[in-house]
Amino acid sequence: MEPVGRRAEIPTGSSLLDAAQAAGIGLVSLCGGEGWCESCIVRLAGGELSPVTAAEREVLSAEQLAAGYRLACQAIPTKDVKIEIPPESLATPQRLQVEGMSAQVVLDPPIESVNVVLDPPSFEDMRPDRERLEDALAEAGHANVSLSYPVLIDLSSRLRDLGWSIQVVLQNDQGIAILPPEMPIFGLATDIGTTKLAAYLVNLTTGETSAQTGAMNPQIAYGEDILSRIGYCREHKDGRRVLQARLAATLNDLIRKMCAEADIAADQIVEAVAVGNTAMHHIFAGLDVGQLAMTPYVPTTGQALKVGARDVGLDIASGARVYLLPNIAGYVGADHTSVILATDIWKTDRTSVAVDIGTNTEITLVAQGRLSSCSCASGPAFEGAHIRDGMRAAEGAIERVQIKNDEIRVFTIGGKPPVGICGSGILDAVAEMRRCGILDDKGALQEEHPLVRQTDQLPELVLVPADATGHGRDITLNRKDVNEIQLAKGAIRTGLELLLLESGIGAEQVENFIVAGAFGTYISIPSAIQVGMFPDLPLDCFHQVGNAAGMGAKQALISLERRRVAQDIVKQIKYIELTTHPAFQKQFMRALFL
Amino acid sequence: MEPVGRRAEIPTGSSLLDAAQAAGIGLVSLCGGEGWCESCIVRLAGGELSPVTAAEREVLSAEQLAAGYRLACQAIPTKDVKIEIPPESLATPQRLQVEGMSAQVVLDPPIESVNVVLDPPSFEDMRPDRERLEDALAEAGHANVSLSYPVLIDLSSRLRDLGWSIQVVLQNDQGIAILPPEMPIFGLATDIGTTKLAAYLVNLTTGETSAQTGAMNPQIAYGEDILSRIGYCREHKDGRRVLQARLAATLNDLIRKMCAEADIAADQIVEAVAVGNTAMHHIFAGLDVGQLAMTPYVPTTGQALKVGARDVGLDIASGARVYLLPNIAGYVGADHTSVILATDIWKTDRTSVAVDIGTNTEITLVAQGRLSSCSCASGPAFEGAHIRDGMRAAEGAIERVQIKNDEIRVFTIGGKPPVGICGSGILDAVAEMRRCGILDDKGALQEEHPLVRQTDQLPELVLVPADATGHGRDITLNRKDVNEIQLAKGAIRTGLELLLLESGIGAEQVENFIVAGAFGTYISIPSAIQVGMFPDLPLDCFHQVGNAAGMGAKQALISLERRRVAQDIVKQIKYIELTTHPAFQKQFMRALFL
């Protein structure tokens, strides 16, 4: 079963859902295998399954069926099968996305390493340590090597401690680390999100990921969103340094954790790549951020940036560099560059869209070989903010909602009693409410609908009655909540439409629609289409790729060629500023309708 | 009057001593103008003086007279004269040597600066700040400029604070500082001695020294000499960092003081040069020092080194670099390279010696166009250590001693009642004691001499009886004290002799004998010859040049050419290790005799 790569043997007659459960794969099953929901949707990639059932015909569209989609609870293998599980069907216990679409990248790291044995100094040969090492490197075919300052600092004790037999790690002509001979070397890739951090430890010799982990961004304590963190930096003299130091400390925790898991020392990590939105990029790199909150919102730099690991406080080899992928604009950052890199959409001749949904949603359109990008202020509704019963994607959050025959079913993270609703659940809820006629196209609840309850304020939908929740209070949605989702999805759709407008093509021409990022991985694409956030394209145009930004960072870590590609991409991209676009207002008003 | 460059008009018939006093030049006058001491010795460099007096004939040798030396108290100008005052005749109130021999250096700093005015960003022109600046620099004829990381950090706020009209300070193709347009830029030169620090603020546009100051090296609290400081670094986990930080803090005090004096901001200092012995060089630069206490005592590096001002904690422009002149060996450091550079002895075809006396004394011999250097463990006796009544050169220290007709005269720093004796005073005392037959050639006091007093321990010479001292105790010297000086001067003479031996020439062939450093400036050359520390060369061969190391640092600060020269010098020098030299023991035994 892909993408998890798990194999299972099952008794004849078992459904795919049984098989998945036997193999320890957590497939979502809202209806408990009754075949009336579509939460366990999978795709047949090889082999043969039992014929499509009536239940499946009811739930799946003809297009889905034609594309090989089935319900795992209904389909029974008739021979060996290969099954693709879309990310949204996986009840992943890991809510910090650290996996993304894999791409084959040829190993071409910016690092090489040389083993040398030096003659110890004597009264007959009193060359200083640096010159002695440089001579030995020249003999080993590496002339003109200079040692970086952090390496020089400890050179003399290091050479003596290692008994003059060493491995020199080189980046171009710079010696950046000295290790025992033959010791394996590693790299760190990290995706610094406003909310979440993901980190990967990669073996630079094999290209394999040795460990991966994630954490919340500790800067949340200084502001939930980018603007409030920039505000903190502007209002506090040392604000920028405080936020940087907190971030570095948490990254160091992740590094320690991964080193322990892979059983290596932190100074074996000799290179790093970081991506993040422009504000996170700037704060991590120690750059000014005040200008990101001032029109016209320009970054300090749009080029790729190399900073010393020491300069940003990362506890890896002290001579290591951190390579930061280039930013596209003040609100289209290196993380989006990384998504474009990882998904390779820039090199296809198909009309493609890549969208990374968050408080700011970045969109890139590739059409007729040209790239254009924009940033949409989609707001924090999809993170549960501004929604009465909203919450982050955590245990007990409703992440799936289905309404059928006036019956509401919800699915929570961790299968716990519901305590609130997170972004993907709200999106589902709004889509289902609209589909069932509970909402009109302006987002008003239809008071006559049996599921709608009158209150002394606004009419509301009771998603989960008090007696079924974890906290004993009703979980409800009202028009205000729906309007928040309309604003968010409207902003995203507007961004997409303006990119299409600028390129002179229509949404129906999009052949390849990449949805990146943690949130994008969990949403139901049909729901997103239903509410009008995404255009009504065939479902197999859509690809939910998980943390593509992290994948791009890993690619740039192990491949100089990928770094060059990233730099080329950014130069090619035309950035479209939405806030000053003449068609923005009209387009946005239109995009608000459900 | 040189080297102070003071001019004075005086009434006819006034002596040079009167003239000096009228011009505010503090000439030493031990005997109060009676003509029987030689403390006010000066040299006629132009013009005409009254005939040599009988007193002068008694005090000055025929060679001295032939070379134009006179006693200032005896000589009366008969027309306009130009007078050279040897440093030892100057009763400088400034005991921290910050002046050295001036050399004409063509201004060729490693720094240039460009004024540019940028278009502020707009929605029509959203180039990031770095790219905007790079474009403007390219337009101003500076393509391919990259900005150093410390500049990039604050670039965005700096550009906005300065209203997009700025001065970019460049070092090669790196932008290292951003200042208001046309603001003058400065450099810092510093000589980091084991005991004393000297610092100079130099205007990089004019080459002029705007301020200079000095301080004690605060590391003294962690060990008086190099070995004890290296010991501290080896025994304390953070020892190296502690010593570095203390040093940087004191240098920052000096920087603040000079900035206040010159009325500039510290970030106008955009370049620095530092010299020091190898251990001070390494500690300042943050390098390992443990190996300097282990045979064969090799430095981490012998090349010139550039480190970031931020890396070493100097509070100057954050993008500024500190250039450290190259070291010659573990105990012949960048300060000696600087002496050779400043005195230009490497480029003459005369046989020359440069000696810098300290706890370690570095000597370089230039003979037949070849340079060789050594380091002598001369010990701390000349700093007053291991001498019963010894003290540093501070107020009340006896710095001159003369014995005539069994009468002892002493001269103290600041003219204060004597409280002890410093290096130059001890050297004088030993020389005078030997000349008057108080000592034999082994350093034993002659008990029958009327000035020698018997005690229940060793016989001693009472330099100053209790009733004439500042603390009411006798100031005396005994054989133990004399032996310390014998060890010190013996080590120095041995180093010189072995360099001569290796070059196959005799001491008498030396034409030019440079005595550098604070101590070397204050000693009496005849005394040094008398005790056998220096060879018996004509007095006009000797040049006491003050803090030549600081001068060399200033030269390297304002001239790239001088940096290249310094690097060439170090490559040319043959380092002679004394401790393992086969002739060392024999030579040293011989050199101990007075």
Q: Which residue is associated with the tokens 């995203």?
A: A492
> Which one-letter amino acid corresponds to residue B184?
P
Task: Say how far apart CA A213 and CA A224 lie, in whole Å.
Answer: 22
A172 within 8 A of A112, measured Cβ to Cβ: no
Tokens for B171?
């070092």
Residue B28 sits at φ, ψ, to 5 deg, of -70, 135
List, for residues B71-82, the tens digit of each pLDDT value: 888 888 888 888
* More confident site: A406 or B259: B259
pLDDT score recorded for residue A457 = 87
Best CA proximity match to A569, nearest among A274, A345, A310, A391 = A345
Contact flag A301-B152 (C-beta cutoff 8 Å)? yes
Half-sphere exposure of residue B231: CA atoms within 13 angstroms, side-chain side: 8
Half-sphere exposure of residue B60: CA atoms within 13 angstroms, side-chain side: 27
pLDDT score recorded for residue B16 = 85
Q: Which residue is associated with the tokens 């029974």?
A: A76
Q: What is B224-252 written as a DSSP string?
A: SSHHHHHHHHHHSTTHHHHHHHHHHHHHH
Residue B105 pLDDT > 90: no
Identify the residue among B298, B331, B576 best suited for mutation to test binding to A, counting A beta carbons within 10 A and taking the highest. Answer: B298
> Which one-letter amino acid corresponds to residue A398?
I
Q: Other C-beta atoms within 10 Å of B118: how many?
A: 18
Q: Report the gap between the CA of B304 and the closest CA in chain A (Å).
A: 11
- Per-residue pLDDT of chain A (594 residues), as tens digits, is 555 455 667 778 888 888 877 666 667 666 667 777 777 888 888 888 888 888 888 888 888 888 888 888 888 888 888 887 776 666 543 333 434 444 568 899 999 999 999 999 999 999 999 999 999 999 999 999 999 999 999 999 999 999 999 999 999 999 999 999 999 999 999 999 998 899 999 999 999 999 999 999 999 899 888 999 999 999 998 999 999 999 999 999 999 999 999 999 999 999 999 999 999 999 999 999 999 999 999 999 999 999 999 999 999 999 999 999 999 999 999 999 999 999 999 887 899 999 999 888 999 999 998 999 999 988 888 888 889 999 988 889 999 999 988 899 999 998 899 999 999 999 999 999 999 999 999 999 999 999 999 988 899 999 999 999 999 999 999 999 999 999 999 999 999 999 999 999 999 999 999 999 888 888 999 999 999 999 999 998 999 988 899 999 999 999 999 999 999 999 999 999 998 999 999 999 999 999
Q: What is the mean pLDDT of residues B426-451?
A: 94
Residue B53 sits at φ, ψ, to 5 deg, of -90, 170
Best CA proximity match to B553, nearest among B544, B543, B540, B562 = B562
B433 within 8 A of B461, measured Cβ to Cβ: yes
pLDDT score recorded for residue A89 = 66
pLDDT score recorded for residue B98 = 39
Cis peptide before A296 (omega within 30 of 0): yes
Confidence tier at B99 by pLDDT (50, 70, 90):
very low
Task: Say how far apart CA B130 and CA A354 lie, in whole Å.
Answer: 28
Q: Which residue is associated with the tokens 């679409």?
A: A101
A350 within 8 A of A512, measured Cβ to Cβ: yes
Residue B171, SS3 per DSSP = strand
Q: What is the mean pLDDT of residues B506-530?
A: 93
Residue B72, SS3 per DSSP = coil
pLDDT score recorded for residue A77 = 87
Helix (H) and strand (E) counts for chain B?
16, 25
pLDDT score recorded for residue A32 = 64
**Residues of chain A neighbouring B287 (CB-CB closer than 8 A):** 152-153, 155-156
B386 within 8 A of B224, measured Cβ to Cβ: no
Q: pTM here?
A: 0.85
Q: How far is CA B271 from CA A521, B185, B221, B309, B319, in A?
A: 52, 9, 29, 8, 9
Tokens for B543?
């040049």
Q: Crossing angle for the helix pair A278-285 and A239-262, nearest 10 degrees?
A: 90
B17 within 8 A of B1, measured Cβ to Cβ: no
Residue B10 pLDDT > 80: no
Residue B542 pLDDT > 70: yes
Strand A542-546 with A512-516, pairing? parallel
Task: Say how far apart CA A500 and CA A353 lie, in whole Å.
Answer: 10
Task: Say how far apart CA A33 and CA A73 lie, in whole Å.
Answer: 5
Half-sphere exposure of residue B287: CA atoms within 13 angstroms, side-chain side: 28
Strand A196-203 with A174-179, pairing? unpaired
Q: What is the mean pLDDT of residues B209-226?
A: 92
Q: How far apart are the first and last CA of chain A?
A: 36
pLDDT score recorded for residue B100 = 44
Q: Report the gap between the CA of A219 and the closest CA in chain B (Å).
A: 19
Give chain B's contact residues with A (Cβ, < 8 Å).
121-123, 126-132, 149, 152-157, 160, 286-288, 290-291, 294-303, 305, 307-308, 311, 327, 329-330, 575, 577, 580
Q: How far apart are the first and last CA of chain B?
A: 36
Residue A494, SS3 per DSSP = helix
The interface pTM score, or ipTM, of the predicted complex is 0.85
Cis peptide before A326 (omega within 30 of 0): no
Q: Other C-beta atoms within 10 Å of A585: how many?
A: 10
Q: What is the mean pLDDT of residues B207-226?
A: 92
B329 within 8 A of B337, measured Cβ to Cβ: no
pLDDT score recorded for residue A24 = 61
pLDDT score recorded for residue A486 = 96
Tokens for A473?
């209070």
Residue B320 pLDDT > 80: yes
Q: Which residue is associated with the tokens 């020892």?
A: B239
pLDDT score recorded for residue A19 = 80
Task: Say how far apart CA A186 and CA A273 lie, in whole Å.
Answer: 12
Give chain A's contact residues with B (Cβ, < 8 Å).
121-123, 126-132, 149, 152-157, 160, 286-291, 294-303, 305, 307-308, 311, 327, 329-330, 575, 577, 580
**Residues of chain A neighbouring B160 (CB-CB closer than 8 A):** 290-291, 294
A299 within 8 A of A277, measured Cβ to Cβ: no
Task: Say how far apart CA B472 and CA B468 lie, in whole Å.
Answer: 7
A285 within 8 A of A275, measured Cβ to Cβ: no
pLDDT score recorded for residue A59 = 80
List, for residues B266-302, the tens digit of each pLDDT value: 999 999 999 999 999 999 999 999 999 999 999 999 9
